[in-house]
Structure formats: C-alpha cells, structure tokens
A and B are shown apart, each in its own frame.
Chain A
Amino acid sequence: MEHNKNYVVGIFSDEDVLLDAVGSIRDKGVKIEEVYSPFPVHGLDEALGYRRTRLPIAAFMFGLTGTCLALFTQIWMLGYDWPMIIGGKNHASLPPFIPVTFEFTVLLASWGMAITFIIVSDMKPYKWPRQFDNRSTDDKHVMAIDLATNKLSKQELAQLLKDNGATEVNEKNF
C-alpha cells in the first residue's frame, strides 16, 4: 500500500447515527474511503453508493457447471464407456442420476462461491488488515476519509464528522 497517506478517522458508536452521517457527509461531496463496522449495518452499502456484488452470478455459473459435469459423467460412464446390465434397468436412465447431479451442483456452487468471495475480498490467512481503529470489530463504527482525495482540510473534515455525531475524531497516517 502507498505510504505517507493521511486519513481523518471518525468513530461512531451507533449504527443509525452512522448511516445519517454517511449520507450527509457524501452530500457535502466528501469522498469516504471506507466504513468499518463490527456487524453488517443494513443500508450502509447503498449509502456509500456501492454497486451490488456479482457473487450470485458466480455461484450460478459454478452450479451450472456442476450440473452438466455430473450428468455427463454418469451418462457417459454407465451408458457408453462400460454399459452393464444392472437389475434389468436401462444402461443410462435419468431418474437414478438426479440425486448425484443435485448434490454435485450444490457442492460446486457453494465451494466455488466461497472461494471466489475470499479471493475478491483479498483475504489471506497471513495478511494483516489495514486497521484505522481496532475497536471496529468490537463496538465502534469507523469511518475513514482520505485527505488526498478530498479538497476539504483536516480541520474541516474533523468538524464535519463531529457535526454528524462522531463520538471522536482521530488522525491516522500509514
């Protein structure tokens, strides 16, 4: 990550106050780097104007792959590669193949999506996150504003945060 970046960090203790704050601060044309919370605050992503995640699409694709793969494998193995007479049944008939197909679909979908999530969120077991205030996992909501990306001065931003209900305002340099 780039060095000598200065941030103004606003600490909020109430999610509703935080949500209003995000709204009004962004109305002032201030660009918010990111907000860190101990639990998912509903509506925060809209307030920050994030685009909806496309993980569902990924999941669907993975699932589809699973379905096709499972069906193909079963029909090919029992129907074409080595047909056997089993209980007088047809070599390749659909009904008995449904359960495995379904299970395999779910398997691929869930694992595929979970792994994608880890990757896109750039999470690694050995990586320490960049934390502006480590109470953000306990009971505080932390709003980080990058000075470099804003025209307002440090004091103005601090004031703005205070006005919008930040319980305290700190400064953080990396």
Chain B
Amino acid sequence: MSNNKTYWKGLPELKNDATVIKNASNEFGDAPEDNGHSRRDFLKMMGFSVAAVSLAACEAPIRKAIPYVNKPADVDPGIPNYYASTYINGGDYCSIVVKTREGRPIKVEGNILSKVTQGGTSAQVEASVLSLYDNSRLRAPYIAGAKAKWETVDAQIIEKLGAAKEVRIVSNTLLSPSTKAAIDAFKAKYSSTQHIQYDPSSSYGIWKANQQSFGTGFIPSYDFSKAMTIVSVAADFLGTWVAPIIFTKQYGVNRTVSVAKPEMSRHYQFESILSLTGANADYRTPIKPSQEGLIVAQLYNLIAAKAGQAALSASIDQVANLEDAANELWENRGKSVVVAGSNDPAVQVIVNAINNMLGNYGSTIDTSKPMNFRQGNDEAMDAFIADVEGGKVDAIIFYNSNPVYDHPKGAKLAAALKNVSLSISTASTEDETSALCGFKAPDHHYLESWNDFEPVKGSYSISQPSISKIFSTRQVQESLMLWAGQENVEYFSFVKQNWTNWFHASSGNGMDQQSFWDKCLYDGVLDVTGQSVPVTFNSDVAAAGSWIATNYKATGTDFEVVIYEPCGVGTGAMANNPLLQELPDPITKAVWDHYVTISVKDATDKGIDMKHEEFAEGRTQIMTIKVNDQTVNIPALVQPGQAQGTLGIALGYGRTKVGKVGMGMDGNGIGVNAFALVGSLNNALNYSATTGITVEKTTDIFRLAQTQIHHTSMNRPNVIQEETLTAFKERDKSKGPYNPKVTKWDEKLDASALSMWKGHTYNDHHWGMAIDMNSCTGCGACVVACNVENNVAIVGKDEVIRRREMHWLRIDRYYSSDAQAGDYAGLEKASENPQVIFQPMLCQHCNNAPCETVCPVAATTHSTEGLNQMTYNRCIGTRYCANNCPYKVRRFNWFKYHDNQQFLQSNPSMNTDLGRMVLNPDVTVRSRGVMEKCSFCAQRIQLGKLNAKKERRPVKEGEINTACAAACTTGAIVFGDMNNPASAISKLLEITKDEHGAAPTDKKAGNPRAYRVLEDIGVKPNIYYLNKIRNTKAAKPA
C-alpha cells in the first residue's frame, strides 16, 4: 500500500483554521470573485478606452446619435458604425455617410437616400475626413493671439458687442435654416446686425439675371439628365460650377450607351481653358473670355431666327460648331439646356432668354426648386468692404469664410480690419482672416457638428457629429446665441426643435416626434413637398444685348487671363489637405503646384524652352504676368486645348496663413493668390481679365510635378478603344470593339482563347470590375477615396517629380494626336485642340498575372476568388513584379513614408498623432522596401463575407463594394462577383463562361462595348473597360 503522508501547509491547517477548511477544496483560494465579466465585456471596455483615448478632450460619448445601420451606438472594437451626415464647405454641399471605427471617423461616402446628391461624392468630399485631424486646427479660443478661456472670450465679446453701433456677420453661402434662425436670434439682440453672404467663386450673375428675368433672384435647378443637347459656354459644371456633384450625376445618365439604349446626349463646350467639362464634351471650341458674351448673343440670334424673334445688336461670326449647336438645340427644344459660366448678369439674361425660347424651363430647368448653393451677393460684399474702409463698421463676425484671402478686395479689407474694434473669426484653423481678428472663437469641424441644411428648396438634410469635439471648440450657432444673451444654449436641441416645428406636422406621417427625429437622423435627409411659385420670363434682352455689344469684342490680339477654380484644392479652403494637393489635376496631371496654362503656340512665341530634354518632365520657366496693377510670377504649363492668346490661372493657391501642408515643401507657400486678379464687371465679380495684361517670360527654371509626363496614347488600340455613336449603332454587336488575334502556325485564335495552362477554377466568388470610359468624367473622387480607404502614403512634390507617387488607382488622361500611325515622333505631340479620354487604371488582377510568376518568394499570389494578392510581410522588394507589370500599377515603398520626419509635410496622416487617427485599422501601413498595389479592397470583401457568414447566408449582391466604385458619382466603376449571374457586373458585361477558352476562370464579356486593356498579351485581366463613345459626326472633328 502506498504511504499517504500529509504535510501541513503551516500551522493554520494543523489547527484546522476556519478559512483553511473553507478554502480546502479551492486551490486558488484568494482568486478575485468572478463578477460575470465576459470576454465580450472586456472587448467593450477595451473598445471604450480605445475610443476614449483617441477622442482627445472628449468628455462624453456621442449623444443621441443613431447609427446609419442597425448597430448599437456604443463602440465595438473592429466593427464600424455608420452615421448619416452632411459635408459642407462654403456653399459646396454633399449628403454623406460617415464610417467610424473605434469612435473615429475614417471614411465618408455618398448617401444614396439623398434626392439631391443621390450618393455622389467629389474628391473634396472624400478628402474632407482628413481635415478633421488637421494639425493646424485651433485647439482653443484666442484673444489677441493669446489662448483664452471661453468664459473670458464670451464676456469680452458681449461687452464689446453691447458698445457696437454697426455689427456685421460675414459668411459664404449659408445653407442652414437653423443657423439662419440662430443669426436672426442674434439680430434680435443687436438690431444693427447685417448678415453678408459672398462666395469665393461667385454665381451672383445668375442670381441677378434671374431677378431681372423672373422678378426674384435665385439659381434654378438644372437637370442635365433630361437634356439631349447640352451647350455650355465656359461653365465647368462637371468640375466646379454651382453644384458639380449633382450635375455630374445627371450628366452621367445620358452619357452611358448600351445596345438597349443606343442614344446619348451631345455636348458642345465653348471655353478658353481646357476644363474637366470641356474634356468630356463631344465638340469643344476654344474661345477667348472676351468673346463669351458675343457667343451667347450669337447663339441667341441663331435660335431667335428659328423662333422668329428679333436678333440682338451683338453678334460674332466664324465660331466653330456654333451653328450646329443652335440647330440641335432647336431640334431638341425642351430636351436641351444652355449654361454659361460667365458671372455677367447680362450674359446670363441672354442665356435665360435662350432657354426660354427653347422651352427648357419646366423640363431641364426648374425654377420652382431653386438651388441654394450660391447665395453670395457681390454688391453687398463690396458695400460691406467699403463700409469697413469707411470706418462705419465696428463689429465683424467672420463665419465659414476667409475674405481676406478669397475676396478680390481682401487686401483692402485686411488693411481696414485693424481699425475695427471688434473682429471675431470662427474659423477652425488659422487663416488669413483670423490672423487679423482680435478674437478667435473656433468652430467645430463639420464632422463634430450638429446642423441642418436646405441645399435645394424643399430638400433638407442633417449633419450629426460622428465624433465628439476633439479640441476646445464651439459651434458658431451656440456662440451667436450665447452672445445674444441666451442661457444654456444647446444647438442640438435648437435644431431638433426647429425640425419638429417645421416638418413634424407636414412630413411626420403619423410618427411621434422622437421617432420622426430618429428617422431624420437615420436617413440624414428629408424631402418636403413645397408649393411651387410659377414664374414667367420677362426681361429686357435687347438691353443686355447692347451691353454685350459694347463690353465684349469679337477679335483681339493681346493676352487675356482666365481665373478658374481647380478641382483639387478648390477655392483654397482645403489647401492644407494633402490628399487634394497630391490629387493630380484631371487635365494637367500636376500636383502640389500652381501654374499658368498657356497654349503651345503662345509658349513657342514667348520662347519657353520646350526643346530641353527635361521639358517633358516638368522643367519649365516662370512667367511674369501683369494684370492691371497686379503682378504675379508663376511657372508656365503648356496646355493643349488652351485657346490661343489666353492664360489660365487657378484660384486656391498662394495661401499665406495655412498649415504645414499648404505651405509646401520649402514652407514658403504654394503659388500665388489669384483672387487679387479677379475684377468686377456689371456689378458682379469677373473671373477673367481681358485688358491691360502684359506677359513676360523670365529665365528662372521651375520644376512642376506631374504624375503623367507623356500625354498621348501613341495610337495603341490595345490601350484605348473609342468609336463614334453612329459607328457603334451600325457595327456588329456580337463582337467587342477590340478582338486581338494570336497567330499560331496553322490558324489565328482569339488572344483570350490561348493559354499554356488549364488555369484554376474559382468555385465560389470571382471578383471583377467594369469601368465605363464614357461615364467616367475623370474627376478623381475615386483616387482620393482609394487613398483614404487603403492608407496610401502621400509622398510629396519631390517624390512625385521622381515619379514615385503611391496612388493605387490613377486616372490616365490621353490627348488625341493629329499624326498618322507609325509616325512615332508625331504621335507624341497632342493636337492643338485635342479630344480627351480618361482611363482609370488600377491593378487588373490578371488571371495569368505576370507579377506572380516572377516573385522569388511568392509574396504575390492569386486567391481562389480571382484576386491578385500582395503579402506585404513576405515581400523582400526585388521590384521584379513591378517591372513585369504591363500596366505599371505596382507601387514600391522607396522610403519609410510613415513615422519619418522627412515626410511630415506631405504625409501628416502617417507622421503625426492626430493625423494617424484617420488611418483605416483594417489596412496595414506598408513598411519601407515592400511593394504594394490595389487589393480590390480585400478588407471590404472580407468584411462582407464575414457578415454573411455570421448570418449564415450567401453574400448579397451590392453588399460588397470597393471604395473607388462607391465613390464614383456616375457609376462608371462597377465591382462585383462575376460568378453570380444576378450581379450588376455580370448583367452589365453580359458575362458568359468561356467554353472555348483554355482557362475556365476567364470570363467572356458579351457586352459589345467591353474590352480588356492589353488583351493581346494574354494576361487575362479581371477588369473590363467599356469603350469610349463620342457623339460626333466624324471620328476626328475639325
């Protein structure tokens, strides 16, 4: 028998102490009580702490915020929450959905519930999320440049306001009814208060013209989706004019062509600079700004002749395409639209008259639902500045505006501001205006704010905070009400109250107040059916005509300058956003730079050195341009399509008080402030200068950074496929536009049908993409969306000059060339007025990927769902894959772009604590020395599959989408599962498994417009392009 000796664990056991007996069975006697904490609880706690940490200065979690989808409002680590909200920047508007992770907004996307923007976005909207984490944001209120407490600020302001005789509130266009109500409350207290609205890019001319034509000033709703003929005289409605997101959405509708719908609109553009809109036009005529009025008048005359009405005194001859435009407008009466970018009321009156003659009012133009995006009143602003100079004003509150920088008379205002006793800036970052203001009462970023908006009459939307305020800032509306003497103001309840008062009765349809409000928050938008006031056209066209006859000239030899708003940094409010600074301009493909666009002929005349071998790489000279009393030095960019004798200078540059990013690599700022060049014509701002201009070329060398230094497609059919609408209608629809053959010793085979290997079948999913080059306008929203979603490094000007930008998705822009095939030297030169084609280019996820074969360590391989995967941890950086990529879409981390002070200026989102908050936790930040590329948003695919798996169901169509496809306003990019016959992509491409093909994985697209880039080399991509179709009579119009 075994000897059971027991050893006492100390005396207590020997004495059979009570506790010993109690714990006898319990080995870990003094373990903590299990108070029912589960792993999930731990995660919750952790999630909360993560959130708490990330929300610097966050005293409470978001209140009363309802997620967009049915998720608990509390933060689950790793699970994103979505909130409907609204993007607002000056008068620019977009209804959005904000994606938050661990309480941090990391991505914005369009809100499809909005009837206004219909889920569309723009590059600026996509980039705006990074502005929330802008290091240059003010973190507290300031008095005379010194940090202060809100209490003291309020006290002093209220005191000074009390003493003030004349108070002014200056803002850009205000879309928010509740804010206006708050301002009214303020006015109630300070009766002398006037609210002045102006816009950096003014459309006052249209407002004024409508006042003359219809009695009331407004900007009507345009509907390009109903128009079969579109004539635009210098209106960049796809890029920057009034409401580009909306117009792009509408425009796309009639630009897509299919066998079912073999019709598309025809678009005539008359403009001086090659704008984004002009690049998409079927017929584009370069004109001088001094001709704009006459061209509109001539168009009137041509149509009036048909309508049997009197011609105007103004006219112009030999304008290419003008007659055709007039004829087609007349043929498409009621199905057409004429727009003009000019800010001259007289011109806009004529445009109204033309649209009236064509009966477009009520069809393509809706006066009953005015757009509120541009309410700026140039005259009022001028008067205001005059008052300030005259010392009449002694209290100014600047809200959502930076007039010192972005108003032509900013300098005058700046000088006069010193004498204003009370000047308050509510800008959330230091800017030119706030720098001169005695008080800084910083506003929230829009993602931290409660607000409401009425972009279009009867359509409302709400902005709810998706993060609690990061810094000690306060919403302007609250400030105003506080200063108006109200107690415990809370803008949130103010908005909620307003909505209940205004809409619950009419649109509540039976819901109680709370659930009505919740629904509004959930949707983010609300449409109320308002009564429409019928308006009748009645205006003195002849007077306008004679004004034009005197103020515009048909011919002129001296230079004229066009001042335009660029698609990237816009009017400069977002100049500190690196995503926009490194977004290639859709046309020039230049980044980080300000330049003057000049036609090839003028450049030659001015002696710009284009012979130098590095010219193509952006080596150019600086021009000295005198506009009346203003002089600017700015590098020249030779631009095909630029009207001869004109120069184009962008707004939005030359910021002097802005964060590190906006100050450029050398810290001296980027470019010059072109607002100073903006003149005035007919009591409205005039964004062109037609007289008193001298242009000199200096010998100073300047290096422009461009992401594309070769501009023609070299007549390569395997890259670019385009045809005219008539050609498409007539041709055999059983084949695609491009069917390369491969010659075997005995026969010719389809390139796709030939393969050395059986290939591997993708049994469940087969992800693919279709890109319609017709509805792609080239705006670049997808590029920014991709950067944000995938933590793509922004590398800065120097690296771009070294051709090392990291964008996973780029938009190739090709100009047409006049040279014949084979004349390679000639093909490198673009036409003088080229046709433009945009081709979004990203990893093609080839089924026979050349990159995979050559990687020595198998760091890039193919998934069983057709994805070309990149394994960052395994990559050793031989770059062989990039060399062997026929599409050159692979990007190499030449340096450590994160946690590296060298890239602080260009890449704050990877080099500052605040900036890092924007990074998408689902995507690795790539380390130095590894290759990266488009992953088809693998993380989104994974999320979708996991959601489906949790709910034990197959993945639903449309539940997985890539960032670029989601961002595309016109829906040019379609992503989906090609194995699912019900998916949008399968339907669009008319996918049928290729039974002849050697590779069963290789889908055959039945769509007669579908082709694959470089199909002939047999790499079998999973991205299909729908060819470009031009609605022109001949393939190359004169």
Return chain B residues, CB-CB under 8 Å to A93: 757
Return chain A residues, CB-CB under 8 Å to B759: 88
Asked if B861 and A85 sit within 8 Å, CB to CB, the answer is yes
Residue from B858, B864, B1020 within 8 A of A86 (CB atoms): B858
CB of B766, distance to nearest CB on chain A (Å): 13
Give the docked Cα–Cα distance between A86 and B847 (Å). Answer: 9
Residue of B nearest to A90 (CB): B757
Counting CB contacts under 8 A, is A87 at the interface?
yes
Give the docked Cα–Cα distance between A87 and B864 (Å). Answer: 12
CB of B902, distance to nearest CB on chain A (Å): 36
| B-contact 0/1 string along A71-94, CB 8 Å cutoff | 000000000000011111110010
Counting CB contacts under 8 A, is B853 at the interface?
yes
Residue of A nearest to B855 (CB): A86
Return chain A residues, CB-CB under 8 Å to B760: 85, 88
Counting CB contacts under 8 A, is B850 at the interface?
yes
Asked if A87 and B852 sit within 8 Å, CB to CB, the answer is yes
Give the docked Cα–Cα distance between A84 and B758 (Å). Answer: 15
Return chain A residues, CB-CB under 8 Å to B758: 90
CB of B849, distance to nearest CB on chain A (Å): 5
Give the docked Cα–Cα distance between A121 and B1019 (Å). Answer: 57
Residue of B nearest to A95 (CB): B756
Give the docked Cα–Cα distance between A7 and B848 (Å). Answer: 76
Residue of A nearest to B762 (CB): A85
Residue of B nearest to A93 (CB): B757
Residue of A nearest to B849 (CB): A87
CB of A93, distance to nearest CB on chain B (Å): 8
Give the docked Cα–Cα distance between A86 and B848 (Å). Answer: 8
Give the docked Cα–Cα distance between A90 and B760 (Å). Answer: 8
Residue of B nearest to A82 (CB): B858
Give the docked Cα–Cα distance between A93 and B863 (Å). Answer: 19
Asked if A89 and B853 sit within 8 Å, CB to CB, the answer is yes
Residue of A nearest to B858 (CB): A84
Asked if B864 and A85 sit within 8 Å, CB to CB, the answer is yes
Residue of A nearest to B999 (CB): A88
The number of residues on chain B lying at the interface, defined by a beta carbon within 8 Å of a beta carbon of chain A, is 20
Asked if B849 and A88 sit within 8 Å, CB to CB, the answer is yes
| A-contact 0/1 string along B851-868, CB 8 Å cutoff | 011000010011110000
Residue of B nearest to A89 (CB): B757
CB of A7, distance to nearest CB on chain B (Å): 60
Counting CB contacts under 8 A, is B755 at the interface?
yes
Residue from A84, A85, A88, A89 within 8 A of B1020 (CB atoms): A88
The number of residues on chain A lying at the interface, defined by a beta carbon within 8 Å of a beta carbon of chain B, is 8
Asked if A86 and B757 sit within 8 Å, CB to CB, the answer is no
Return chain A residues, CB-CB under 8 Å to B848: 87-89
Return chain A residues, CB-CB under 8 Å to B850: 87
User: Which residues of chain B from 536 to 589 have a CB within 8 Å of any chain A CB?
Assistant: none
Return chain B residues, CB-CB under 8 Å to A89: 756-757, 848, 853
CB of B257, distance to nearest CB on chain A (Å): 33
Asked if B863 and A85 sit within 8 Å, CB to CB, the answer is yes
Give the docked Cα–Cα distance between A97 and B858 (Å). Answer: 15
Return chain B residues, CB-CB under 8 Å to A86: 852-853, 858, 861-862
Return chain A residues, CB-CB under 8 Å to B1001: 88
Give the docked Cα–Cα distance between A90 and B853 (Å). Answer: 11
Return chain B residues, CB-CB under 8 Å to A87: 848-850, 852-853, 862
Return chain A residues, CB-CB under 8 Å to B852: 85-87
Give the docked Cα–Cα distance between A90 and B756 (Å). Answer: 10
Residue of A nearest to B847 (CB): A88
| B-contact 0/1 string along A42-63, CB 8 Å cutoff | 0000000000000000000000
Give the docked Cα–Cα distance between A152 and B17 (Å). Answer: 106
Give the docked Cα–Cα distance between A87 and B853 (Å). Answer: 5
Return chain A residues, CB-CB under 8 Å to B861: 84-86
| A-contact 0/1 string along B752-779, CB 8 Å cutoff | 0001111110000000000000000000
CB of A117, distance to nearest CB on chain B (Å): 34
CB of B852, distance to nearest CB on chain A (Å): 4
| A-contact 0/1 string along B963-1001, CB 8 Å cutoff | 000000000000000000000000000000000000101
Give the docked Cα–Cα distance between A90 and B755 (Å). Answer: 12
Give the docked Cα–Cα distance between A85 and B866 (Å). Answer: 10
CB of B865, distance to nearest CB on chain A (Å): 10
Return chain B residues, CB-CB under 8 Å to A90: 757-758
CB of B846, distance to nearest CB on chain A (Å): 8
Give the docked Cα–Cα distance between A86 and B760 (Å). Answer: 10
CB of B860, distance to nearest CB on chain A (Å): 9
Return chain A residues, CB-CB under 8 Å to B847: 88
Return chain A residues, CB-CB under 8 Å to B756: 89
Give the docked Cα–Cα distance between A98 and B758 (Å). Answer: 21
CB of B887, distance to nearest CB on chain A (Å): 15
Give the docked Cα–Cα distance between A169 and B372 (Å). Answer: 121
Return chain B residues, CB-CB under 8 Å to A88: 755, 757, 759-760, 847-849, 862, 999, 1001, 1020
Give the docked Cα–Cα distance between A84 and B756 (Å). Answer: 17
| A-contact 0/1 string along B728-758, CB 8 Å cutoff | 0000000000000000000000000001111
Give the docked Cα–Cα distance between A148 and B222 (Å). Answer: 121
Most buried by B among A85, A88, A90, A93: A88
User: Which residues of chain A from 88 to 123 have a CB within 8 Å of any chain B CB?
Assistant: 88-90, 93
Residue of B nearest to A84 (CB): B861
User: Which residues of chain B from 794 to 851 have a CB within 8 Å of any chain A CB?
Assistant: 847-850
User: Which residues of chain A from 123 to 150 have a CB within 8 Å of any chain B CB?
Assistant: none
Give the docked Cα–Cα distance between A84 and B847 (Å). Answer: 13
Return chain B residues, CB-CB under 8 Å to A84: 858, 861-862
Give the docked Cα–Cα distance between A88 and B847 (Å). Answer: 6
Give the docked Cα–Cα distance between A86 and B860 (Å). Answer: 8
Return chain B residues, CB-CB under 8 Å to A85: 760, 852, 861-864
Return chain A residues, CB-CB under 8 Å to B853: 86-87, 89
Return chain A residues, CB-CB under 8 Å to B1020: 88
Residue of B nearest to A85 (CB): B862
Give the docked Cα–Cα distance between A87 and B862 (Å). Answer: 7
User: Which residues of chain B from 309 to 368 have a CB within 8 Å of any chain A CB?
Assistant: none
Give the docked Cα–Cα distance between A98 and B867 (Å). Answer: 29
Residue of A nearest to B854 (CB): A87
Most buried by A among B847, B850, B862, B999: B862
Residue of B nearest to A83 (CB): B760
Residue of B nearest to A96 (CB): B853
Give the docked Cα–Cα distance between A159 and B726 (Å). Answer: 114
Using a CB–CB cutoff of 8 Å, the interface residues on chain B facing chain A are 755-760, 847-850, 852-853, 858, 861-864, 999, 1001, 1020
Known: A87-B852, A93-B757. 19 other contacts (CB 8 A): A85-B861, A85-B862, A85-B863, A86-B853, A86-B862, A87-B848, A87-B850, A87-B853, A87-B862, A88-B755, A88-B757, A88-B847, A88-B849, A88-B862, A88-B999, A89-B757, A89-B853, A90-B757, A90-B758
Using a CB–CB cutoff of 8 Å, the interface residues on chain A facing chain B are 84-90, 93
Interchain Cβ contacts under 8 Å between A and B, 20 examples? A84-B858, A84-B861, A85-B760, A85-B852, A85-B862, A85-B863, A85-B864, A86-B853, A87-B848, A87-B849, A87-B852, A87-B853, A88-B755, A88-B760, A88-B849, A88-B862, A88-B1020, A89-B757, A89-B848, A89-B853
10 cross-chain pairs, A with B, having the tightest CB-CB distances, nearest first: A87-B853, A85-B862, A88-B848, A87-B852, A84-B861, A86-B852, A88-B759, A85-B760, A88-B847, A89-B757
